[in-house]
Amino acid sequence: MTGSTPKDEQDRPHDLVGIGIGPFNLSLAALAQGIPGSLSTTFFEQKPTFHWHPGLLIEGATLQVPFLADLVTLADPASPWTFLNYLKHRERLFPFYFAEKFHIQRTEYDAYCRWVSERLPGLNFGHQVDSVRWNPERRLFEVDFTQIDPDGEAEALGRAYTRNVVLGVGTEPYVPEPLKPLADAPGVPVFHSADYLAHRDTLLAAGHVTVVGSGQSGAEVFLDLLRSRPAGAERIHWLARTEAFAPMEYSKLGLEHFTPDYTRYFHSLPEQVRGDLVPRQWQLHKGIDADTIAAIHDELYRRTLHGGWPDAVLTPGVRVRTAGRVATTQVELHLEHLQQGTRSRLTTDAVVLATGYRERPVERMLAGLDPYLRHDSAGRARVDERYRLVLDPSVTGAVHVQNAEKHTHGVGAPDLGLAAWRSATILNSITGKEPYPLPRRTAFTTFGLETREAPSIPAQGQKLTPLTQIV
């Protein structure tokens, strides 16, 4: 839904205002609608419509989680907003049944989420949230927003009052410092993989292309370019800082790091332990799907059938130290091999940066809450086990976060498989009840020597008690 908010509705306080409408807040909105008696909710998104990573909807690319990791199923499989119900409405349930696809294509997931976004009430696209403040007199949060017209110009200002806020603003593409000047310069063929499809024709026409980054996005971009360039004249380099083009950990017990059990265990660890642990777990979420690795090797092998090797160079263990322009059409990358300690230069016609994403900054938006926020020793916002920012006790409302808590909840923070469970946890916390009963145990693995149970649901406005420890 896109449209202005009537004045009387602006003044009436909501139970919940969601900021951002990506998959996580869309999950929250869908589950909120299923609560008997219904919460008063509204969600704001500055984009005009829902789109999920449109630049990476490469033909044939699939999700790395099963279709059951939709917006709602793992919390409420009877919800009308399940992926299976979407297929039923599209009269595609039988074709999906016979396709026997456990991992669906990204384009299909994007279409499913858009189907939900077009039918759920209370979703306001084309609305940019400017600030969030706590009003101690009204004991409510004030959320100021700007309504944006189709041309991206400010059209109207508004304010919503709410007892609770959920931040779901997502992440933004990360460009390493050495490559920022080139990526920001107009006309220079240095693109983040988030914009790959928009520049695909330019990249296919380039004489030589370099892909930087060893994760799933880098692998998919490399494979798509490889398949689309002529045999014997591929002229592609694939560079990565990691020591190998490594597969993602996808064993059944390994996947238990993406369960609520592990999330609770991780949250209970000391701050320093958590900080040291996340970088070491990169293969849990930054590796490459084994099928994609196999497809790359198959394509490279196919190109050797008539003799010779493809003109493709795959080099891990390399970092880009600096970069610059050569003449007016080429880019020069200054490289360092981390194990050999050697340096070299690579001249290329175009660069794709599959260098990942970082949390979108919200400091300006939350500046009005700064006096109330509590931070850890690294200056990051503290987040409790119910995904609430830790605020001064004088604030009786709550600000929850989605996909901004990796430092407190672990590598599962951006994982779609935990979306419905986290949304249900937030709604249980906001209502002070348990509209979505959640399992107390979700993994065969026992993480640590103490078993930690899920905390009880506090009443609205009450602070949570520490987790129960059972020795």
The pLDDT, as a whole number, for residue 279 is 93
CATH number of 173-248+286-357: 3.50.50.60
* CB of 56 closer than 8 Å to CB of 217: yes
Q: Tell me how long the chain is.
A: 471
**pLDDT tens-place values along the chain, 471 residues long:** 444 455 555 678 999 999 999 999 999 999 999 998 879 999 999 999 999 999 999 999 999 999 999 999 999 999 999 999 999 999 999 999 999 999 999 999 999 999 999 999 999 999 999 999 999 999 999 999 999 998 889 999 999 999 999 999 999 999 999 999 999 998 899 999 999 999 999 999 999 999 999 999 999 999 999 999 999 899 999 999 999 999 999 999 999 999 999 999 999 999 999 999 999 999 998 899 999 999 999 999 999 998 899 999 999 999 999 999 998 889 999 999 999 999 999 999 999 999 999 999 999 999 999 999 999 999 999 999 999 999 999 999 999 999 999 999 999 999 999 999 999 999 999 999 999 999 999 999 999 997 666 666 654 455 443 333 322
Token representation of residue 94: 């039988």
Q: Are 233 and 276 in contact (CB under 8 A)?
A: no
Q: Which helix (H) or strand (E) segment is 326 a member of?
A: strand 318-326
Beta bridge partners of 18: 43, 166
AA identity, residue 278: V
The pLDDT value recorded for residue 456 is: 62
Which amino acid is residue 199, in one-letter code? H
State the CATH architecture for 7-170+360-452.
3-Layer(bba) Sandwich (3.50)
pLDDT recorded at residue 9: 55
Other CB atoms within a 10 A radius of the CB of residue 265 amount to 21
23-62: burial string, b at 16+ Cβ within 10 Å, e else:
bbbbbbbbbbbbbeeebebbbbbbeeebebbebbbbeebb
Other CB atoms within 10 A of residue 331 CB: 21
- The pTM score is 0.92
Cβ atoms of residues 444 and 451 within 8 Å: no
Q: Where are the domains of the chain?
A: 7-170+360-452, 173-248+286-357
